A and B are shown apart, each in its own frame.
Chain A
Amino acid sequence: MSGSNVWSRSREKIRLFPELFAQCTGEAAVYGKCVAATTTGRQELKKDLCAKEFEALKTCFISAVSDTKVQHVLKC
């Protein structure tokens, strides 16, 4: 299967992930700590237990994406 298809496009998109993720290490650490605390503490992990921290992480990630897009547009 040659040429561009949904799998090659998804693979290309996921390749951009690490760079964008690297711009949100602070929020990622906060979210990670919140979830990791459930593995040692008495509280069991439930859905949306750390929703607030995740929203912060997601907002940072989305802004990183739009920054990259803006940069791409400015480069052309």
Chain B
Amino acid sequence: MSSGLCLRVLRGSGSAPAASSGSWSRFLSRSGARRGLSGSNSGTMNVFNREMKKRQKNWAGSLQDGQQYDYLRDEVGSRVADRVYDIARTFPLALDLGGGKGHIAEHLSQVQPVLYPSSEIPTRCVLADEEFLPFKENTFDLVVSSLSLHWINDLPGALKQIHQVLKPDGVFIGAMVGGETLYELRCSLQLAETEREGGFSPHVSPYTAVTDLGNLLGRAGFTMLTVDIDEVQVHYPGIIEVMTDLQGMGESNCAWNRRSLLHRDTILAAAAIYKEMYGSEDGSVPATFEILYMIGWKPHESQAKPAKRGSATASFGDLSKISQPTNSNKS
């Protein structure tokens, strides 16, 4: 069952200026394998209901005033675009996984008006499943992904597929929420449910820890890894606004083990706990988003390799013998 998340294929025209506006075409990719039987990975996790996530994203996308919920994606998209520009290369063909409204592409076309005088990168939109990429091997120079990897069930498998569709010496730049994202919301709901109902169920999805990310990328075959964390704290009037904004962003819970209802008493209790435990003086409450940025390269002969063992020509012990510049005038 395809999740239908939008992938955007960005084609950067090096020499000729691009056409006035990118052409769009959507086609459903037929994914033969069923979820849960993907590949030879035993123990593939099936945490998220991808069909539900597709419906939630469609609903969020159909909102009349959906732009007001785009602040987080825009911010992270601009930081991913910064990382793309930090790499001194041009990328003729790029893939944006889970591109949505193209939050990365809009920053890519603005920052470099010289290279792309029309300030538009030709884009093709593909409706496909992130775990079953419908592209040939060695196709893309660059794969970017912003804030969509945290809904993938088989993250190791998806990273392997990204590695496959990249050309050798291609790069994958991703941003995903992880670590301690939304810990305030999680704790408030947990305490409220425990006090009001005697038990609690998970309301915030499980996230990847930053320490695991290096292992995941390494297992997928990426080299020259760079992983760093950014903490974005957004202040809201209260817990209801937090939840409404998350819903508007299309980030509602879709884990199979989610509870379908939240009692009014529990909501009231959680609102009080959130405000008391995490509120600031002006009455607002913070919500933390920990964004993990990752950069990984597909191996290529031109890349720097670690030196062979035993090829050292100098010793660390010689550091102390480096002669100090002598002061002839001692004043």
Contacts and interface: CB of A to CB of B under 8 A. Distances in A.
B272 A31 contact: yes
13 contacts: A15-B240, A18-B238, A28-B272, A29-B275, A35-B195, A35-B269, A36-B276, A36-B277, A39-B277, A49-B195, A54-B269, A57-B272, A58-B268
Nearest to B272: A28
Given A28-B272, A28-B275, A54-B196, 4 more contacts: A15-B244, A27-B272, A35-B272, A50-B195
B191 A39 contact: yes
B272 A18 contact: no
Contacts, number: 74
Interface string B108-131: 000000000000000000000000
A26 to B, nearest CB: 11
A61 B241 contact: no
Nearest to A50: B195
A28 B283 CA distance: 12
Interface in A20-38: 21, 25, 27-29, 31-33, 35-36, 38
Interface string B221-242: 0000000000000000110110
A31 B198 contact: no
A28 B238 CA distance: 12
Task: Determine the interface band of chain A, counting residues with CB < 8 A from chain B.
Answer: 20 to 34
Interface of A: 14-15, 17-18, 21, 25, 27-29, 31-33, 35-36, 38-39, 45-50, 54, 57-58, 61
A29 to B, nearest CB: 6
- Looking at chain A's contact residues, the main secondary structure is helix
Contact of B273 (A25, A32, A46, A58): A32
Contacts of B277: 32, 36, 39
Contacts of A14: 240, 244, 267
A29 B237 contact: no
A32 B276 contact: yes
Contacts of A33: 276
